[in-house]
């Protein structure tokens, strides 16, 4: 089952990339129309949605752990945080590259840019916290869940606070035709699938590890 | 309800009296704050016009770091001779312990603020025409720093790198609060002229009132959330 899903993810990803770079190519900025930089949207947007989705999953697992005390929730939380960090890193890296090519700056305080940066920081701090807490496994899981909930409350706060800044980021984006929409949707589905698969595999690894430790 | 107030008062007085007798952290906080202000004053010497801009920044950095010192201590002292177990064994709700510790940290940071504000005003030659706004903004910032810090102080108490861990936890959560907090002080210190409020880059919610409104929301959300979650954080 997992192998089939992984195969589908790979095929979708390749199909999406190939179509995006051939038929669905988006024209570059007016200063340099030949630049392929705007194609970054096929990676940037799915990874931004994935990193936010992972954060929501993290909240759900945190509440689940605090409510039930079941260790499985903690395994999922740990896996989700790691996968979320990867996507948040991709989000910030691709955003930065695009920003440099399109607006001439690597980074600037602007609502969405701040939100993405804070999201990355929250993930990284969560992972540091997880790796540096002494004491029993239960205590670590409980404290990480507490931090995940507080961190989740921080995200709407950032979205709200960032309105003090001028927005440089495009509010919405529309594609011209289905050659562009198609690979975008495929890219979205494949990225989501990839995230889910990674979380699934990592959770299994953690479960086996904890069983080995118990024996 | 009477029992709640009684236990709250007991823990609060215990901590304040210990601090005032032993003077463990308040002198360090004040000297650290003064050093931060002094260093930033020297760093801003090259650009003389920007004093009103650097002033609020110096103030918030001093508060953040001094606050971290106070919060780190608030559960570290309980670790010595395992006082924390006595505190947890007492028939008191965990939320009450949190609120008592929170009030202690707010009071300590307020004492620090009373001493450091004149230093900042003198160092950066600031003019303040709206004292109630200044006090309000500082108090809201104080509550925000203390609310998050008190919870995380309980979280990191057993770690070896306590201070380092506490600082990254608190700073990452307080990051969104610092934007309106700095804006509010810029308004109070006159670095942003009143007629500019609500225009240009500040078109969205960039007035003193909206910045204060944001800070009130932040305080309310995090005090309640930390108070509710504290029980999970303190248990062994």
Interface with chain B: mutation pick from A154, A168, A169, highest number of B CBs within 10 Å: A154
* Cβ-defined contact of B151 to A166 (cutoff 8 Å): no
Q: Which of residues 8-47 of B touch A (CB under 8 A)?
A: none
Instruction: Tell me the mean pLDDT in the region B173-181.
Output: 88
Taking an 8 Å cut-off on Cβ atoms, the answer to whether B233 and A121 are in contact is no
pLDDT, residue A100, reads 87
Cβ–Cβ of B233/A162 closer than 8 Å? no
Q: What is the mean pLDDT of residues B15-28?
A: 88
Indicate yes or no: CB of B173 within 8 angstroms of CB of A166: no
Residue B46 has pLDDT above 80, yes or no: no
Residue, of A205 and B91, whose pLDDT is higher: A205
Query: Is B228 part of the contact surface with chain A (CB cutoff 8 Å)?
Result: no
Q: What number is the average pLDDT over the span A90-119?
A: 87
| Residues of chain A positioned with their CB less than 8 A from the CB of B168 | 125, 128
Q: Is B57 on the interface with A (CB under 8 A)?
A: no
Residue A196, CA distances (Å) to A116, A201, B32 in order: 21, 9, 47
Residue A128 with chain B: CB contacts under 8 Å:
165, 168
Q: What are the chain B neighbours of A114 within 8 Å (beta carbons)?
A: 179
Question: Closest to A125 (Cβ–Cβ): which among B172, B202, B236?
Answer: B172
Torsion of Cα atoms, A11 then A17 then A18 then A24, to 10°? 130
Global pTM value: 0.90
Whether A128 sits inside 8 A of B160 (CB atoms) is: no
Q: Which among B150, B148, B156, B144 has a CA at the least distance from the CA of B181?
A: B144
Mean pLDDT rounded to a whole number for chain B: 86
Q: Could you give the dihedral angle defined by the CA atoms of residues A188, A191, A195 and A201, in that order, rounded to the nearest 10 degrees? A: 130
ipTM of the complex: 0.88
Q: How far apart are CA A78 and CA A202, in angstroms?
A: 8
Q: Cβ contact (<8 Å) for B233 and A142?
A: yes
Mark yes or no for CB contact B235/A139 under 8 Å: yes
Q: Residue B202 is nearest to which of A114, A153, A164, comparing CB atoms?
A: A164
Least confident of A9-13, A39-43, A206-210, B152-156: A39-43
Query: Taking a C-beta distance cutoff of 8 angstroms, is the pair B183, B101 a contact?
Result: no
Query: What does residue B189 show for φ and ψ, rounded to 5 degrees?
Result: -85, 0
Contact B221 A165 (CB under 8 A): no
Residue with the bigger pLDDT between B167 and B197: it is: B167
Banded pLDDT at B203 (limits 50, 70, 90): very low
Contact B78, B87 (CB under 8 A): yes
For residue B80, the tally of other CB atoms under 10 A from its CB is 8
Give the pLDDT of residue B149: 94
Q: Burial-class residue B121 by CB neighbours within 10 Å (0-12, 13-18, 19+).
A: middle
Tens of pLDDT, residue by residue over A174-187, are: 777 777 788 888 88
Q: Report how many Cβ contacts below 8 Å link chain A to chain B.
A: 94
| Count of Cβ atoms closer than 10 Å to residue B125 Cβ | 11
A64-82: pLDDT as tens digits: 999 998 999 999 999 999 9
Is pLDDT above 80 for A95? Answer: yes
8 Å CB contact of B155 and A147: yes
Contacts of A134 in chain B (CB under 8 A): 158-160
Number of residues that make up chain B: 236
pLDDT tens track for A137-160: 899 999 999 999 999 998 888 877
Per-residue b or e along A61-91, where b marks 16 or more CB atoms closer than 10 Å to that residue's CB:
bbebbbeeeeeebbbbbbbbbbbbbbbbebb
**Of residues B27, B61, B21, the one with CA closest to residue B41:** B61
The first and second tokens of residue A120, run together, are: 């990355």
Average pLDDT of chain A? 87
Q: What is the pLDDT of residues A14-38, one digit of tens each?
A: 888 888 888 777 776 666 777 777 8
Give the separation between CA B140 and CA A53, rounded to whole angstroms.
32
Quickly list DSSP for chain B: -HHHHHHHHHHHHHHHHHHHHH--SHHHHHHHHHHHHHHHHHHTTT-GGGHHHHHHHHHHHHHHHHHHHHHHHHHHHHHGGGHHHHHHHSS--HHHHHHHHHHHHHHHHHHHHHHHHHHHHHHTT---S-HHHHHHHHHHHHHHHHHHHHHHHHHHTT-TTHHHHHHHHHHHHHHHHHHHHHHHHHHHTTSS-GGGTTSGGGTTT-SHHHHHHHHHHHHHHHHHHHHHHHHHHH--
The structure tokens 């650097």 sit at B54
Does residue B187 belong to the interface with chain A, where contact is any CB pair within 8 Å? no
């Amino acid at each position: 089952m997992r192998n089939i899903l992984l195969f589908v993810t790979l095929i979708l990803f390749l199909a999406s990339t190939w179509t995006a770079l051939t038929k669905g190519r988006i024209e570059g900025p007016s200063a340099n129309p030949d630049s392929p930089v705007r194609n970054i949207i096929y990676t940037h947007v799915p990874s931004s949605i994935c990193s936010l989705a992972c954060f929501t999953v993290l909240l759900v697992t945190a509440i689940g752990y605090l409510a039930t005390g079941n260790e499985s929730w903690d395994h999922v939380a740990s896996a989700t945080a790691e996968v979320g960090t990867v996507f948040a890193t991709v989000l910030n890296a691709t955003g930065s590259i695009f920003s440099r090519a399109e607006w001439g700056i690597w980074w600037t305080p602007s609502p969405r840019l701040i939100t993405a940066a804070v999201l990355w920081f929250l993930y990284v701090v969560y992972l540091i916290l997880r790796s540096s807490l002494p004491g029993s496994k239960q205590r670590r899981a409980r404290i990480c869940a507490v931090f995940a909930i507080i961190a989740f409350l921080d995200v709407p706060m950032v979205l709200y606070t960032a309105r003090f800044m001028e927005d440089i980021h495009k509010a919405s984006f529309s594609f011209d035709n289905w050659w562009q929409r198609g690979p975008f949707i495929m890219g979205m589905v494949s990225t989501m699938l990839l995230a889910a698969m990674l979380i699934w595999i990592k959770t299994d690894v953690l479960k086996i590890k904890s069983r080995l430790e118990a024996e | 309800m009477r029992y709640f107030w009684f236990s709250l008062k007991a823990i609060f007085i215990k901590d304040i009296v210990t601090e005032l007798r032993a003077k463990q952290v308040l002198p360090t906080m004040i000297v650290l704050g003064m050093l931060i202000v002094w260093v930033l004053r020297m760093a801003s010497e090259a650009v003389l016009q920007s004093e009103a801009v650097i002033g609020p920044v110096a103030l918030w950095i001093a508060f953040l770091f001094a606050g971290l010192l106070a919060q780190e201590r608030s559960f570290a002292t309980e670790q010595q001779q395992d006082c924390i177990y006595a505190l947890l064994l007492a028939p008191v709700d965990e939320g009450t312990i949190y609120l008592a510790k929170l009030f202690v940290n707010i009071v300590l940071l307020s004492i620090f603020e009373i001493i450091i504000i004149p230093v900042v005003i003198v160092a950066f030659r600031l003019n303040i025409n709206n004292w109630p706004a200044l006090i309000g903004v500082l108090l809201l910032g104080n509550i925000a720093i203390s609310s998050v810090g008190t919870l995380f102080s309980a979280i990191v108490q057993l770690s070896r790198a306590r201070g380092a861990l506490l600082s990254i936890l608190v700073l990452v959560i307080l990051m969104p609060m610092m934007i309106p907090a700095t804006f509010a002080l810029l308004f109070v210190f006159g670095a942003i002229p009143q007629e500019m409020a609500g225009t240009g880059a500040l078109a969205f919610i960039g007035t003193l009132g909206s910045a204060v409104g944001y800070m009130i929301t932040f305080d309310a959300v995090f005090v309640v959330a930390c108070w509710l979650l504290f029980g999970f954080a303190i248990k062994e």
